[in-house]
A and B are shown apart, each in its own frame.
Chain A
Amino acid sequence: MVFEDIYKEYWQKVFRLCMGYTNEYELAQDMAQETFIIVWQQLPKFRNESSIGTWLFRIATNSCLRQIEKQSRYPKTEMPTNLAEEQQVSQEPQFQLLYKFISELPEADRIIISLELEDVRQSDIAHIVGLSEANVRVKIHRIKDKLTQKFKEHGLG
């Protein structure tokens, strides 16, 4: 596999994954670049034991997880009320809402749903995350319900 091809094919996907995880444009871009730096360094070690996609998404999701080490110690406080938020939010395009809602999920759920929406097969998601396929399926179902609920609360969907 040539790095250039991998980079072309997966850049958007990895960026979206990071964006779902953080919902911060600049940070997501940084994280995606860091992922590709690791990919570039590790590529000679890739042994075709899994598909290149699975391998790459493992690296990408792991670097999302490792973001915790770099973040400041105290997480940002949530917006205290929904009221002020709602006016502003309803003008946002729906896709931005989706990313916002995903980034508010627990970390593991963010990864699972991002992979699912990226059209990664559920059996591959299971390999990336390290859970059984059945377990992944159940989780995806629940996460989608949660997201639908959030959209409904915003009078959408």
Chain B
Amino acid sequence: MDSGNINFKALWSAQKIEQPTLQNLRVRLDDFKKSNRKKIIITNSLLSATALFILFIWVYYQPQLITTKIGIVLIILAIAIFIISSSQNLNVLTRINEAENNQQYLKNLLVLKERQHFMHTTMLNAYFSILSAGLALYMYEYTSRMAIHWALVAYVLTGSWISVNWFYLRPRQIRKERSKTDDIISRFETIQAQLNQE
């Protein structure tokens, strides 16, 4: 069966390792569950704290204009989108059938990677646009009470901060993510090619 006179199978089974006790594996499983639970708890408390803080502003300062209220809702929405997408990434999007054959699994992984990247980009765009719109609306009520030049200063400052995010940080994030995704995709494709080589 073996080529030459090397008994590969005998050599192969010479590799031994002590079996960790089931206890050991359970501890690891618990750690895994705990860290997952911790992530969910952190996400939820961040989200609730932000929402509470903004609601507090709403109640305490009693905004008069509808623009301010819409602004607040949009800001909460943006933050929610950001937190949920960055944590749900771990769960919903990475779920994939682990018991497929390797060929199918690689195909699914490639689709998954693309989807993750798309989600990442879309979420990031949605987050920045909604947050900017929310801020602009929210500011209106307070700036309208200021002298015109101070109102302008406030909008210019906020506007330039948003521009830095939109034109510099956002594309940089997307590029970084893209190159990481491309790298992984090309390595999966290499394995696919190995399998399909005649």
Contacts and interface: CB of A to CB of B under 8 A. Distances in A.
Interface of A: 4, 7-8, 11-12, 15-16, 19-20, 25, 29, 33, 36-38, 40, 42, 45-46, 55, 58-59, 61-63, 65-66, 68-69, 73, 93-96, 98-99, 106-109, 111, 114, 117-119, 127-131, 135, 141, 144-145, 147-148, 151-152, 156-157
Interface in B92-131: 98-106, 109
B97 to A, nearest CB: 9
Contacts of B17: 12, 15, 19, 25, 29
Contact of B101 (A19, A25, A127): A127
A144 B11 CA distance: 13
Interface string B173-198: 00000001001100110110011001
A65 B101 contact: no
B22 A4 contact: yes
B147 interface: no
Interface stretch (B25-33, B42-50, B52-60, B69-77): B25-33
A129 B101 contact: yes
Interface string B6-35: 101101111111011010010011001000
